[in-house]
Amino acid sequence: MPNSSGYRAVVSARNLTKRFGDFTAVDGISFEIPAGESFGLLGPNGAGKSTIMRMLGGVSRRTSGELEVMGLDPERQGPEVRAHLGVVPQQDNLDEELRVRDNLIIYGRYFGLPMSYLRPKSAELLEFAQLGDKAGARIGELSGGMKRRLTIARSLINDPGILLLDEPTTGLDPQARHVLWDRLFRLKERGTTLVLTTHYMDEAEQLCDRLIVVDRGRIMAGGSPAELIRAHSSREVLELRFGAGRNASAAGALAGLGERIEVLPDRILVYADDGEAVLGQAVARGLEPATSLVRRSSLEDVFLRLTGRSLID
């Protein structure tokens, strides 16, 4: 549906709310996603990300608010909405009784797709997921990363316009994550709209054009990763470690340096536009950190600033 600024939103949520009993998991969330965008929901465990994703697919009933996906109401026109979607759930649910290729083909049948389409399409998708040589393998023989790639291949069987990815790389090793990110980049280049949830700030920075930071079912902030960092953090961060028990007293001595100081259990973060300069000032005050590191601000810092907590506990 075209909105005031003229673009076509493929997803639009207004005051989306979900309660389980008297617990509010999603608390009045509003956002719009234009076609072709890569949109992220960044937040810690329990923030309500998966619940939002399930409402998008019409497999969880909203308590109140409005929701449109491809101009349709997912609750009333679930099959029509889901025919547009590819879904990569948080937990893999591949069928272990079927071989790798059959997982794609059988899944494709659910979209009413004919075998004449599914046979070549499954081969194409297995190549895309770098599983071409595993077509006849059992699911149990695949590594975690391969299963995740197969789940992504499966979600693409109907050539969806919108791909919902719920924590696509949680639990994978760094190598496997990079392979997966690369595949998602390619989809994005082809114009697929990506909606992904994550509690990894590096993933959000890598993949998302725009994101909302969600905590306890509410939107804390929204924008592109760069905008969020600019709005909610300094350019650089100085990380200082003084060793067990000495952080608190060191923090006192650092008072007034940089724009803001966060004392974490294991380290002190000093937010400043020039980290090196602040480090020089700290040393001039006679402080001797065990280690020091200057880095650019990240979404983790944004989250810490907005909620006072870190993303991963």
What is the binding site for other proteins (CB under 8 A)? 20, 57, 59-61, 70, 77-80, 82-85, 87, 89, 91, 93-98, 102, 106-107, 109-113, 117, 120-121, 124, 154-155, 158-159, 161
Do 261 and 271 contact (CB within 8 A), yes or no?
yes
Out of Mg ion, ligand ADP, other proteins, none, what residue 48 binds, judged by CB under 5 to 8 A for its kind, is ligand ADP
Residues 6+ apart with CB under 8 A from 99: 135, 136, 137, 138, 139
Stretch that binds ligand ADP, among 27-35, 40-48, 68-76, 218-226 (CB under 6 A): 40-48
Which of 8, 46, 290, 293 binds ligand ADP (CB under 6 A)? It is: 46
Instruction: Work out whether 60 is an interface residue with Mg ion (CB under 5 A).
Output: no
Angle among Cα 135, 170, 18 to the nearest 5 degrees reads 110
Distance in Å, CB of 40 to ligand ADP, minimum: 12
Could you tell me the two tokens for 82? 């889901």
Helix, strand or coil, per DSSP, at residue 152: helix
Residue nearest to Mg ion (CB): 50
E strands, 70-217, in order? 85-88, 162-166, 193-198, 210-215
Distance in Å, CB of 54 to Mg ion, minimum: 9
Stretch 78-97: interaction string toward Mg ion, x if CB under 5 A: ------------x-------
Which of 38, 50, 122, 198 binds Mg ion (CB under 5 A)? It is: 50
Which of 12, 17, 50, 234 binds ligand ADP (CB under 6 A)? It is: 50
Distance in Å, CB of 118 to other proteins, minimum: 9
Do 126 and 134 contact (CB within 8 A), yes or no?
yes
Which residue lies nearer to ligand ADP by CB, 20 or 110? 20
Which of 1, 8, 14, 20 binds ligand ADP (CB under 6 A)? It is: 20
Which residue lies nearer to ligand ADP by CB, 25 or 250? 25
Stretch that binds ligand ADP, among 43-51, 146-154, 260-268, 276-284 (CB under 6 A): 43-51
Q: What values do phi and psi take at 142, rounded to 5? A: -85, 150
Residues 6+ apart with CB under 8 A from 305: 232, 233, 260
Which residue lies nearer to other proteins by CB, 154 or 183? 154
Which residue lies nearer to other proteins by CB, 59 or 176? 59
CB atoms within 10 A of CB 117: 14
Query: Side by side, which strands form the sheet with 64-69?
Result: 23-34, 9-20, 64-69
Query: Side by side, which strands form the sheet with 260-263?
Result: 260-263, 268-272, 236-241, 291-296
Q: How far apart are CA 152 and CA 183, in angstroms?
A: 9
Q: Which residues bind Mg ion (CB under 5 A)?
A: 49-50, 90
- Under the rule (CB under 6 A), what is the footprint of ligand ADP? 20, 25, 43, 45-51
